[in-house]
Amino acid sequence: MQFADRLNNVETSAIRELFKLLGKPGIISFAGGFPDAALFDVDGIREAASAALTSDPGAALQYGATEGYNPLREQLAAFMRAKGASVAAEQLIVTTGSQQALDLLGKTMISPGDKVIVEGPTFLATIQCFRLYGAELISAPIDGDGVQTDALEALIAEHRPKLVYLIPTFGNPSGATLSLERRQKVLELAVKYNTLVVEDDPYGDLYFDQAPPPSLLALSDSVPGSRELLAHCGSLSKVLSPGLRVGWMVAPPELLGKATMCKQFSDAHTSTFAQATAAQYLAAGRLPATLAKVRAVYAERAHTMCQALRADLGDAVTFVPPQGGLFVWARLSGVGGKTANGNDLAKRAIEQGVAFVPGTPFYANQPDHATFRVSFATVGTDKIVEGVKRLAAAL
Ligand SMILES: Cc1ncc(COP(=O)(O)O)c(C=O)c1O
């Protein structure tokens, strides 16, 4: 068949290929990017679904507005206001996962050949999605404090990108948190260079000990002009359930209008049943308790993983312990003649009975082959300890 030219820019995710190997019995997997299904508040979601069908069955089962189910938009706006962002319901649209918000941004903003700056490394699906629209991706370097803003400014000045895509809080895969100072700088750069900044924030609520700095969205009020150049994507996937497919996007009115138009041609609207269920769940006030529970579990697992990596891999790896989210991003040092290649280690690790994702696919360009990502989210602490031992044996 003669497929569209745009498919020439993308290939199947290397991670999905790796997942095919995970069927091996007894394997401990640090490879996923999923929340732990054992932590889903099944009772709460069952009650919310039942309440949605009882209180407003017509709305929950009928076609709905493309912008989203209004009671949910109200709840999501209140959720963000509680975190310091001044958001009204009409300033956001509900999307089918935040993944759709990223797709709508690609559709509305990116023409073939447009330059887009992303972090190196960044979320793989964003790389693929933006490439599908023909973006030429440019990677900005990161460290433990997120994107390096001096380098980012130099890249923006040189390339004048259509947009800058960042995951400022507990990034995937980096686990990094952009410092407050750099957040302010990013917003200033948006204004200085009149560049759209996309803040992708599915992990910000999953902090361990203390809340991260305010989102770019919350800070944008303090940097005049920046709110008009900011799109913010949120999601219930990592805090409540990815199967609901409820995400959202806050953006300037003109961009929101175009994205809504594109969504009409895409899926008409996000499942009204899922939206009504989510609205009931949030209105019942259950999210804070759910968040407290998942934060505590992920914090313990993250701590266990970092301790085990230090104890068993020693100076063979370097990493910055994450302050939240689902991932530890590590780099092989190659000391003592041990491997410094994440792809090689991933293959050897499977033989030892442990899986993780090498870092290479997370780079839009200039990959650092020594990197890899391990997720502690779905593995109990005993298995984490055992899995890291197997990883050490694979070195
Ligand atoms: C950085 C980032 N953005 C967006 C998504 C998409 O999430 P969802 O579509 O489930 O909201 C993910 C999921 O892994 C992610 O890691």
Distance 326 CA to ligand 1 centre (A): 12
pLDDT digits (tens, 9 = 90+) for 338-386: 889 999 999 999 999 999 999 999 999 999 999 999 999 999 999 999 9
Task: Supply the pLDDT for residue 91.
Answer: 98
| H helices present in the chain, as ranges | 14-19, 42-55, 57-61, 70-81, 97-109, 124-132, 149-159, 180-192, 216-219, 253-266, 272-283, 287-313, 342-352, 381-394
Whether 176 and 143 have beta carbons less than 8 Å apart is answered as yes
User: Is residue 13 very low, low, confident or very high in pLDDT (cuts 50, 70, 90)?
Assistant: low
- Hey, what are 168's tokens? 């400022």
pLDDT digits (tens, 9 = 90+) for 219-272: 999 999 999 999 999 999 999 999 999 999 999 999 999 999 999 999 999 999
pLDDT above 70 coverage of the chain, percent = 98
Q: Which ligand 1 atom sits nearest the alpha carbon of residue 96?
A: 9
Task: Supply the pLDDT for residue 8.
Answer: 86
Q: Which ligand 1 atom sits nearest the alpha carbon of residue 237?
A: 10
Does residue 23 carry a pLDDT above 80?
no
Does residue 14 carry a pLDDT above 80?
no
- Residue to probe by mutation, ligand 1, list 102, 119, 123, most atoms within 8 Å of CB: 123
Q: Which ligand 1 atom sits nearest the alpha carbon of residue 33?
A: 14
CATH tag, 5-41+289-394: 3.90.1150.10
Does residue 17 carry a pLDDT above 80?
no
Find the mean pLDDT for residues 276-305. Answer: 98
Where do the domains of the chain lie? 5-41+289-394, 43-285
Distance 76 CA to ligand 1 centre (A): 17
CB-count exposure of residue 268 (10 Å: 0-12, 13-18, 19+): exposed
Which residues surround ligand 1 with Cβ inside 6 Å?
Answer: 33, 97-99, 123, 167, 172, 200, 202, 235, 237, 242, 247
CATH tag, 43-285: 3.40.640.10
Whether 33 and 174 have beta carbons less than 8 Å apart is answered as no
